[in-house]
Chain A
Amino acid sequence: MSVVTLAQALNRSLEHALAEMDDVVVMGEDVGRTGGVFRITDGLADKFGPDRVIDTPVAESGIAGVGFGMAVGGLRPVLEMQFMGFSYPAFDQIINHVARIRHRSRHRFTAPLVIRIPYGGGIGAAEHHSESAEAIYCHTPGLKVVVPSRPGDAAGLLRSAIEDPDPVVFLEPIRLYRSVKEDVPDTSFTTPIGAASVEREGSDLTIIAWGAMMKEAREAAAALVEQGVDTEVLDVRSLVPLDVESLVASVQKTGRAIVVHEAPRTVGFGAEIVAQIQQRCLYHLQAPVERVTGWDTIFPLKRSEHVYLPSVERILAAANTVLSA
C-alpha cells in the first residue's frame, strides 16, 4: 500500500493494465510524449513505447472512431478526451456507433473500450473546460458510466472498466485529481462497476452524490453529525448501471434524502435517482427528496463559480428543509 493522489492512482492503474494485458492500448491528444494535459499518462510512453501509448492529432471524432475500430478489431483501447467539452465533437462516434455495435451486430462485434473524460468545475475555467454532461452519456443505452471520487476507487474502477466487455465512459473529477489522497494497494485490483459505496452509515438522512461533489457531501455530513443528525453518505460511483438496491435500502432506513450534483438540474442524473426513490421508497419517506445541483445555465467563469457549484451551505439548507418537513 502507498498513499497516492487520484491522479497517481489512475496512472498506476493504467500502468498495471498495460503491463498485464497485452491488448490494452492508451490513446489520445498529448498522452504519449507529454503524458497528458493532466499528466495521468505520465511516463507510460517511456515504459511501453509509442505502439501502446499513442499520441493522436487533435481530432476527437477520429480518436473515438478509431478507438471503436480498434475495439471491434480485438484491442482494448483506453481513450482520453482532454476535457468534457472536447468529447462533444466525438458524440457521433460514441453515441451512434460505440454504444450500439453489440446490439446492431447481434452480439458478433463488441466495443470493449474505455473513454476517459476529465470533467467538472472548480478549476476556474469556463464552459467547455468545466461542465458536467454525465446525463447525456447515461441517457445512451449501451454505455456504462462510472465516476470515482477516491484514489482507490479510481484505480479499481478503471481496471474494471478496462476489463469490462462493454464500452465504459470513465469520468474523472478534475478538482479531485490532486486534492484527495489515500492508501491504495501497489498491485492491480478491481472495484466492481454497478455498486454504490456507503461511506458513512446513519439513520436520519441520506446524502447521495458522486464525483467532485462527494467533497461537499462529506463536509456537510460532518457538520450535520456535529449537530446530532446521524447522516448516511452514499457515493453512487456507478451511474450506469445504477445500484438502485443500495439507494433504496439507505432511503428506506433514513426516510430522508438529498441528491447532490454539479450538472444543471433539469434532466440531471439526480432526477433519475429521485424517480427511483419515489417509486420504491414512497411510504418510507418523511419528506420530499431535495436536489442540490448546478443551475440551468451555462457554466460560469471563475467569479461566479462558487455561486453555480453546490456548496456545503446549500446542502445544509436542503438538510434543514427535509429534516423540518
Chain B
Amino acid sequence: MDMDRNSLVEAYRRMRTIREFEDRLHKDFAGGEIPGFVHLYAGEEAVAVGLCSHLGDGDFITSTHRGHGHCIAKGVDTAGMMAEIYGKAPGSCNGKGGSMHIADVDKGMLGANGIVGGGPPLACGAALSAKKRGTDNVVICFFGDGASNQGTTLEGMNLAGVWKLPVVFVCENNGYAETTSYKYSVSGTDIAARARGFGMPSVAVDGLDFFAVAEAAGEAIARARRGEGPTFIEAQTYRYYGHFEGDSIAYRDREEEESFRSRDCLSRFRQTVTSQGLVEAADLDAIDGAVAAEIEQAVTDALSAPDPSLDSLTTDVYVDFPASQLWMFQDEPVRV
C-alpha cells in the first residue's frame, strides 16, 4: 500500500504512544493510585492505528472497555487521558469516568464503554446522522470477539446493512472474552463469516500487521465514504496483558503468549520500514524517546493534579441540576 513517509512516521508515533502508555499503566497499577478496573490494549496497536490513520476529526469511532488505544489512535490528548485514568479533575472527562469511560467528542471519540456490545448501535446512529447531514464522514465501530456474540452487535450490523450506513465494523479478535476463548464462545469460530450474512463485504486480517490492517481499512473506509455501505473487518490480534490489571491469566498458556509476542506489531513495523529504507531507524528511536518523555510528563502531571471537586457530583448530570433535588446535598454534613 502507498503511504508517504510522514504518514508512516505518524502511524509509528501513535502505536509507540499506545504501547508506552499501556506499559506504564501496567507498571504503575500495582502502586494503588489508579482507581477502578483498567483493561490494557498493548499488543493490539496495529488495529486502532491501522484504522484511524485514515480518519479525520470529523469521523467518529466507538470503543470498548479496552479503549485507551482507540483514544490515542484517534488523537485524544494523552495528558488528559492519564489524568482521567487517575480520576483527577483535569482528566478528559473531569475524572468522572476513569479508564472505561474516556470520551472526546472534539476528536470524534464517542466513548470507551463499560458494557460489552454498547458501541454498535451508537456507531450506527452516528453514521445515520453523518449521512442525513450530507457529510462523507464515517464511523469505525471497534468491538471484541466477546461483543460479537451480543444481540446489540448483530442488531447494529443488520441496521447498517439495511440503511447502507457508512460504518466499518472492526472486530478485534484477541482470542478471549474476559477469560473465555472465542473457540468456545463463538459458534463457527469464523467471526468475519457472520457479517456476510448481513450482506456486507467482510475480511479477516492479521491484526498484528499494521500494513494488512491499514490496507483493508483504506478500502472499507473509502467504500463507506462513497455511500456504498458498511464493511466488516475481523482483525486477529492479541492482548499482551490480562483481561484487567490484576488478572492472573490462568486461562492462557505462556507458549501461546510468546508466539504472539514474537510477531509484535511494533517490531514488525520497524523492521518493514527500515529494511525498505522508508524511515531511518534513528528517526524511530527519536520518536521512542519523545514518546517516553510525553508519557512520563503525563504521569507526573496526573499524580499532582487535583481531585474532582465536591460540586462535580451535581455537574453534567443534567444541563442544570434540578433545584428540587439539590437540597439533599446541602441538607447533610458531607465528609470531604
Q: A residues touching B (Cβ–Cβ < 8 Å)?
A: 29-30, 33-34, 37, 55-59, 61-62, 85-86, 88-89, 124-129, 265-266, 292-293, 295-298, 300-304, 306-308, 311, 313-314, 317-318
Contact = CB atoms under 8 A, between A and B. Distances in A.
A267 B295 CA distance: 44
A311 B333 CA distance: 10
Contact of B185 (A58, A124, A306): A58
Contacts of B116: 58, 86
Interface in B127-183: 146-147, 149-152, 177-180
B35 A57 contact: no
Interface in B176-231: 177-180, 184-186
A227 B312 CA distance: 35
B335 A128 contact: no
A297 B313 contact: yes
B329 A127 contact: no
A89 B313 contact: no
19 contacts: A37-B178, A55-B185, A58-B177, A85-B114, A85-B115, A89-B115, A125-B37, A125-B98, A126-B98, A126-B100, A126-B114, A128-B115, A265-B328, A295-B314, A301-B35, A301-B36, A303-B308, A307-B336, A317-B332
Contacts of B336: 307
Contacts of A58: 116-117, 146-147, 149-150, 177-178, 180, 185
A110 to B, nearest CB: 25
Contacts of A307: 310, 313, 334-336
Contacts of A308: 313
Contacts, number: 135
Given A301-B36, A302-B87, A296 B334 contact: no
Contacts of B98: 125-126, 301-302
A314 B335 contact: yes
B114 A296 contact: no
A55 B150 contact: no
Contacts of A59: 149-151
B182 to A, nearest CB: 9
Contact of B36 (A61, A124, A298): A124
A125 B244 CA distance: 12
Interface of B: 35-37, 87-88, 95-98, 100-101, 114-117, 146-147, 149-152, 177-180, 184-186, 250-251, 307-308, 310, 312-314, 317, 325, 328-329, 332-336
Q: Which applies to chain A's interface (DSSP): helix, strand, loop or mixed?
A: mixed
B335 A61 contact: no
A30 B178 contact: yes
A314 to B, nearest CB: 6
Q: Which of A37, A56, A125, A126 has the most CB of B within 10 A?
A: A126
A292 B35 CA distance: 25
A303 B151 contact: no
A102 to B, nearest CB: 25
A34 B250 contact: yes
A298 B115 contact: no
A33 B179 contact: yes
A29 B96 contact: no
Contacts of B332: 292, 314, 317-318
Given A29-B180, A58-B146, A59-B151, A129 B307 contact: no
A5 to B, nearest CB: 18
Given A128-B114, A303-B307, A57 B149 contact: yes
A317 B335 CA distance: 11
A295 B96 contact: no
B96 A298 contact: yes
A89 B37 CA distance: 20
A30 B101 contact: no
B178 A125 contact: no
A143 B247 CA distance: 34
